[in-house]
Amino acid sequence: MTNWKKIRILLLILSFINVLLVLGQVAIQPKRDKNTVDNFVFPEVVPLPHKP
């Protein structure tokens, strides 16, 4: 096997392992900080810019 093929296979294996680790971390430890969403009140009338 040539040298570039060994490097390519090593990079593919490392990439696959990293993907598995990230997916596992997301599945086991979902978002830690709880972001609160504020309610937004939409205005009755939206001001539109006037063309001169």
Burial class (CB in 10 A: 0-12, 13-18, 19+), 51: exposed
**pTM tops 0.75, yes or no:** no
Compute φ and ψ for 45, nearest 5 degrees: -125, 135
pLDDT value of position 32: 65
pLDDT value of position 2: 82
What the block records as the tokens of 45 is: 């009338």
Burial code (b: 16+ CB inside 10 Å, e: under 16) for 14-45 equals: eeeeeeeeeeeeeeeeeeeeeeeeeeeeeeee
Q: What are 1-52's pLDDT values in tens digits?
A: 688 899 999 999 999 999 999 999 888 887 666 667 778 899 999 888 888 7
Query: How far, rounded to the nearest angstrom, does the alpha carbon of residue 12 sit from its chain's CA centroid?
Result: 21
pLDDT value of position 38: 78
Domain boundaries, the chain: 1-27
